[in-house]
Amino acid sequence: MKNFNKIIIGGLLLVATLSSCKKDEEDPIIPNEEEVITTLKYTLTPSTGGTPVVLTFQDLDGDGGNAPTITGGTINANTSYTGAIELLNETESPAEDITAEVAEEDDEHQLFFEPSASDISVAYTDMDDDGNPIGLATTLTTMAASTGTIKITLRHEPAKSAAGVSAGDITNAGGETDIEVTFSLDVQ
Amino acid sequence: MFNRFLIYILLIFLPVLTFSQTCNSTISGFIKDLSTGKPISYANIYLKEAQKGTSSDSVGFFEIEAVCNGNLHINVSHIGCELQQLFFTISGDTTITVFLDHNSHILNEFEIEDEGGKSTTQETQSINSKTIGENSDKDLATMLENISGVSTIRNGSGIAKPIVHGLYGTRLTILNNGVAQSGQQWGVDHSPEIDPLVANRITVIKGVGALEYQGSSLGSVILIEPNKIDNEPHLHGEARYSFESNGLGNGLNLELQQYGKYFAWRVVGTLKKNGDNKTPSYFLRNTGSQQANLAIQIEKQWNTKWSSDLYFSSFNADIGVLRGAHVGNLTDLQQAFEREEPFYTEDKFSYEISPPYQKVNHHLLKFHTKYSLSDRQWIDFTYAGQYNLRKEFDVRRGGRSEIPALSLEQFSNFFEGKYTSFFSKSLELKTGVQMNLVDNMNLPETGILPLIPNYSSIETGFFGLLSKKYEKTTWELGGRYDYENRKVVAISAEVPRYIERSENYYQNISTLLGVTNEFHKNWKLSYNIGYTSRNPEVNELYSNGLHQGVSGIEEGQPNLTRETSIKNTISIKGSVKEKWFFEGLFYNQNIKDYIFMKPQDEIRLTIRGAFPVFKYEQTNAMLTGFDLASTYQASERFTITAKYSYLYGRDQTNELPLIYMPANSLFTELIYEIPEVGKFQNVGFTVNGKYVFKQTNLLASQDFVAAPEAYFLLGLKFSAEKQLKKLKLNFYLRAENVLNTTYRDYLNRQRYFADDLGINLVAGVNVKF
């Protein structure tokens, strides 16, 4: 009995010693968040030439913290614009170009453009190897003047062959939303 | 601890010496009920060496003549009872009395938990190895579902956690062979990493039975226990195979054991694989899973006073998550819910597991030694080391799907010294000291900010339990104290990122008082009251970020305090004329500072869209309910059982229902059994029905979508046994959701995306040798 008590007490002391000697946790490695998208830019260049209009969504500190900055724009009626999407991860320096990553996996990605005004239409001008649209390059055409918004959505692994999807209708696309931003867009 | 073997069988040896010759001995005896002592008729007795058998008559008597002297293995089986294998050497006419645990068959609720002669005031219910064997295709939580008051919270068919009386996760302690399972129990989609097939018995202690065990339990405890190795010098074992039609699942389990010359050993291995499960109308893509588990048990009796045992178990699983359940934001979730079929549904079956999926490994090494100071006093020492590795893979961009999105590693080391003493036959004291060291780390491979921070904790505690039996009343009194020191190292949510260190201290006191009175022959009334507490878990304090599965931003609160609970239970159980059995358990639990996720008024705009924000907050909660179970044995062959569970959960501060509470359910079962049909024994037919009510104790604003409607599931089962020379075969066929009902369950998080499982046919064979 005495011996066993000694063993138990000894054992517990040993543990206590071991645990007190145990050095503090090391600093965790701060991960390199390569996948984060902080910034979306939709640059609209008039096909007739002129100053491009840039719609920008920027959230440098991720989901929490400060609210994102959203910059809408004003474009001209009855005009055709060349649209280009640029995606950036600005938590890194220099900023990482996510556009290239999307372009590389073009069959797994598609952008959708949903203007609130029916007088704005967006057409895809790029396609993946299967002949389906991607949406990094577009043409935006305006007719009558209006005030409203445009919603831009990037879906990962959408069903591009589902009904209407390649024409830009998001309804049957499915997949996972990587980006969903809304800009104010006025047509004058 | 008494030899477990003795709990089930009390073998009384009365060898009557006659003239010893080779093959003229007679084996005779009686088969009796362990709890009542009444004779059991129609039990099958089979002598393996002689390859002959008989069955017991109306007074439980049997006799087999012309048996050769020497070593003899005897199998005793009876409908629903666990097969008993006895071994002894005979040298003449022998009379034996075998006690079978027959009541466990009548109602698992009625098993006697009298380990070491201790009578407990706790409400315990268990499932035995026969039930485990005939449900070998199921996971731990699903196996427990048929115990009243126990339900499961799941994420598809592959991920399931048990809930007892409305509590789960870190509020419920699961003990694997006496060691509290240590891992990422905080996650609703993290199922316990335990293979139930290594166990011979799984017990649920309702009420407050946990004071002996370290852990964060606020009440109930689940014990997964392998038996002690039978004292039997020959190699024995059991092989189990099962096939499931839904998911084309195959399961293989092999158990070998021997009480060897130098030590006793048992090895159990399990291999399981299934592919995409199917609802009544479509396949659930990527819901396959695979498992490979191993357990090794070694026991050594050094001398009459000193014994040791070593236990190692390894659980390794890959579990697919429904592809269509992987959504980006609320729009996706809303769309997924409005669809008939989930996105990515394919019309062909596949075994493939691709992201999203979980890869889990859990290893346990336990060393236990016991030294008896006398027949009435002993000391136990236990060391247990656990290693848990959890990797969760998501669908990611840029070829990163191969890199886990969550990668957590946990080491834990547990030490325990325990002293048990019977001061008299009716007064028992159990006391002990425990220490548990946990080290939890995020592996930096993910490229994602971790969901929970790294931490290490040391928890030291001691307990004392006293039980006293006086005439027909048993009293139980217990207390425990724990001190926890937790060091947390987190990465800041703000940018630029920096390291934040914090340290938490907690002191917890738990107390328990219980009393049981046998107020009438075969009727017992018990009352228990327990005060327990639980420290806030790391995820509740520090989690920060988007929870993709539920499309919400979850925020921890570092200033949460511990939860304290008072739980009262009253139970009554008994039987009338060994025909009608009844059990009722009523409980009320008040949890002060109950931690839950509260939806905030804020909708946060991110680049992926707008997300609702949830914060961990505290309230005063009340859980109250009852479990009723009753069995009527209409005849020797026909038994009917009914069980009903009711639970009501309320957030008393905010006057709201508590979310994620199991809906009420009703289960009935009709069993018809025939002792012998041709060459088969113990042939049984079962029809059962489970009705799960709609969870109406919920406001529409508390969930993204309304709670699913009530549903009814019909099940059928057929089983039979056959003695084939030295092999005892047990066949079963089971059909689940026979009507192929389309339904969704409130506690299955996959319900946002897809229907639950359709019809499933299971065929299995267990061979005991």
Query: Given an 8 Å threshold on Cβ–Cβ distance, is B398 in contact with A59?
Result: no
Can you say how many angstroms the Cα of residue B23 is from the centroid of all Cα atoms in its chain? 47
DSSP state of B183: S
Which member of B449, B453, B458 has the closest CB to residue A19?
A: B458
Taking the Cβ of residue A13 and every Cβ of chain B, the question of whether any pair is shorter than 8 Å is answered with: no
Averaged over B652-662, what is the pLDDT? Answer: 92
- pLDDT at residue A10, rounded to an integer: 59
Query: Given an 8 Å threshold on Cβ–Cβ distance, is A105 in contact with B398?
Result: yes
Taking the Cβ of residue B396 and every Cβ of chain A, the question of whether any pair is shorter than 8 Å is answered with: yes
Taking the Cβ of residue A29 and every Cβ of chain B, the question of whether any pair is shorter than 8 Å is answered with: yes
Please write the tens of the pLDDT for every residue from B700-757.
Answer: 888 888 899 999 999 999 999 998 888 899 999 999 999 999 999 999 988 888 999 9
Q: Kindly report the length of chain A.
A: 188
Averaged over B168-183, what is the pLDDT? Answer: 90
Q: How many CB atoms lie within 10 A of CB A99?
A: 17
* In contact, B503 and B487? CB cutoff 8 Å: yes
Cα B579–Cα B583–Cα B589 angle in degrees, nearest 5: 180
- pLDDT at residue A24, rounded to an integer: 59
Averaged over B135-160, what is the pLDDT? Answer: 89
Which member of A11, A33, A101 has the closest CB to residue B398?
A: A101
- pLDDT at residue A168, rounded to an integer: 92
Long-range CB contact pairs, B457-460, < 8 A, 24+:
B457/B484, B457/B485, B457/B486, B457/B487, B458/A19, B458/B484, B458/B485, B459/B214, B459/B434, B459/B435, B459/B483, B459/B484, B459/B485, B460/B433, B460/B434, B460/B435, B460/B484
What is the percent of chain B where pLDDT is above 70? 93
Chain A partners of B491 at a C-beta cutoff of 8 Å?
28, 30-31
User: Could you please report the per-residue DSSP string of A56-69?
Assistant: EEE-TT-SSSSPPE
Averaged over B354-360, what is the pLDDT? Answer: 93
Distance (Å) from the alpha carbon of A126 to chain B's nearest alpha carbon = 20
Query: Given an 8 Å threshold on Cβ–Cβ distance, is A7 in contact with B553?
Result: no
Distance (Å) from the alpha carbon of A72 to chain B's nearest alpha carbon = 15
Q: Which of the four pLDDT bands, split at 50, 70 and 90, describes residue B17?
A: very low
Mean pLDDT over the full length of chain B: 87
Please write the tens of the pLDDT for every residue from B682-696.
Answer: 899 999 999 999 999
- pLDDT at residue B738, rounded to an integer: 96
Taking the Cβ of residue B374 and every Cβ of chain A, the question of whether any pair is shorter than 8 Å is answered with: no
- pLDDT at residue B397, rounded to an integer: 84
Flag whether pLDDT at B441 surpasses 90: yes
- pLDDT at residue B283, rounded to an integer: 95
Mean pLDDT over the full length of chain A: 86
Q: How many CB atoms lie within 10 A of CB B603?
A: 12
Query: Given an 8 Å threshold on Cβ–Cβ distance, is A4 in contact with B379?
Result: yes
Flag whether pLDDT at A180 surpasses 80: yes
- pLDDT at residue A134, rounded to an integer: 95
CB pairs A-B closer than 8 Å: 153
Three-state SS string over B294-317 comes to EEEEEEEECCCCEEEEEEEEEEEE
Better-scored residue on pLDDT, B241 or A5: B241
SS3 B10: coil
- pLDDT at residue B111, rounded to an integer: 39
Task: Name residues 593-632 of chain B within 8 A of A (Cβ).
Answer: 604-609, 611
Taking the Cβ of residue A2 and every Cβ of chain B, the question of whether any pair is shorter than 8 Å is answered with: no
Phi and psi at B653, nearest 5°, equal: -70, -45
Q: How many CB atoms lie within 10 A of CB B445?
A: 12
Averaged over A163-173, what is the pLDDT? Answer: 91
Min mean pLDDT across B255-264, B278-287, B536-545, B597-606 is at B597-606
Task: Name residues 455-484 of chain B within 8 A of A (Cβ).
Answer: 455-456, 458
* Nearest alpha-carbon partner for B704 in B611, B578, B588, B592: B611
- pLDDT at residue B598, rounded to an integer: 85
Q: Which of the four pLDDT bands, split at 50, 70 and 90, describes residue B277?
A: very high
Phi and psi at B562, nearest 5°, equal: -75, 155
Better-scored residue on pLDDT, B552 or B435: B435
Taking the Cβ of residue B433 and every Cβ of chain A, the question of whether any pair is shorter than 8 Å is answered with: yes
- pLDDT at residue A6, rounded to an integer: 58
- pLDDT at residue B361, rounded to an integer: 97
Alpha-carbon Rg for chain B, nearest whole angstrom, is 27
Flag whether pLDDT at B18 surpasses 50: no
Query: Given an 8 Å threshold on Cβ–Cβ distance, is B449 in contact with A35?
Result: no
- pLDDT at residue B378, rounded to an integer: 94
Residues 6+ positions from B129 with CB-CB distance below 8 Å: B82, B199, B200, B201, B227
Q: Which of the four pLDDT bands, split at 50, 70 and 90, describes residue B105?
A: very low
> pTM of the full predicted structure?
0.87
Flag whether pLDDT at B497 surpasses 70: yes
Flag whether pLDDT at B758 surpasses 70: yes
- pLDDT at residue B115, rounded to an integer: 38
Flag whether pLDDT at B116 surpasses 80: no
Flag whether pLDDT at B108 surpasses 80: no
Averaged over B230-236, what is the pLDDT? Answer: 85
Cα dihedral B2, B3, B9, B12, rounded to 10, equals: -80
- pLDDT at residue B67, rounded to an integer: 84
Question: Alpha-carbon distance B581 to B102, whole Å?
Answer: 13
- pLDDT at residue A8, rounded to an integer: 55
Better-scored residue on pLDDT, A62 or B296: B296
Chain B partners of A26 at a C-beta cutoff of 8 Å?
489
Residue with tokens 């002792």: B675
Averaged over A120-131, what is the pLDDT? Answer: 93
* Nearest alpha-carbon partner for B286 in B228, B326, B243, B328: B326
**Most confident by average pLDDT, B342-346, B366-370, B451-455:** B366-370
Flag whether pLDDT at B481 surpasses 90: yes
Question: Alpha-carbon distance B186 to B169, whole Å?
Answer: 6
Q: How many CB atoms lie within 10 A of CB A51?
A: 7
DSSP H or E segment with residue A158: none
Please write the tens of the pLDDT for every residue from A135-162.
Answer: 999 999 999 999 999 999 999 999 999 9
Residue with tokens 């050769």: B68
Better-scored residue on pLDDT, A100 or B603: A100
Chain A partners of B435 at a C-beta cutoff of 8 Å?
12, 15-16, 19
Query: Given an 8 Å threshold on Cβ–Cβ distance, is B495 in contact with A61?
Result: yes
Distance (Å) from the alpha carbon of A52 to chain B's nearest alpha carbon = 23
Task: Name residues 84-113 of chain A within 8 A of B (Cβ).
Answer: 91, 101-102, 104-105, 108-109
Residue with tokens 């609702």: B612
- pLDDT at residue B80, rounded to an integer: 65
Query: Given an 8 Å threshold on Cβ–Cβ distance, is B433 in contact with A25?
Result: no
Can you say how many angstroms the Cα of residue A91 is from the centroid of all Cα atoms in its chain? 13
Residue A44, judged by CB atoms within 10 A of its CB (0-12, 13-18, 19+), counts as buried
* In contact, B362 and B387? CB cutoff 8 Å: yes
Distance (Å) from the alpha carbon of A147 to chain B's nearest alpha carbon = 22
Which of A1, A6, A8 is the mutation pick for testing B, counting most B CBs within 10 A?
Answer: A8
* In contact, B268 and B198? CB cutoff 8 Å: yes
User: Could you please report the per-residue DSSP string of B515-535?
Assistant: EEEEEETTEEEEEEEEEEEEP
* Nearest alpha-carbon partner for B67 in B104, B42, B96, B40: B96
- The ipTM estimated for the assembled molecules is 0.84
Q: Between the CA of residue B366 and those of A4, B95, B184, B296, B389, what are the distances in Å?
A: 19, 40, 20, 10, 18
Residues 6+ positions from B602 with CB-CB distance below 8 Å: B612, B613
Taking the Cβ of residue B344 and every Cβ of chain A, the question of whether any pair is shorter than 8 Å is answered with: yes
- pLDDT at residue A50, rounded to an integer: 87
* In contact, B84 and B98? CB cutoff 8 Å: yes
Which of B487, B606, B613 is the mutation pick for testing A, counting most A CBs within 10 A?
Answer: B606
Number of alpha carbons in the 13 Å side-chain half-sphere of residue B182: 28
Chain A partners of B454 at a C-beta cutoff of 8 Å?
25, 28
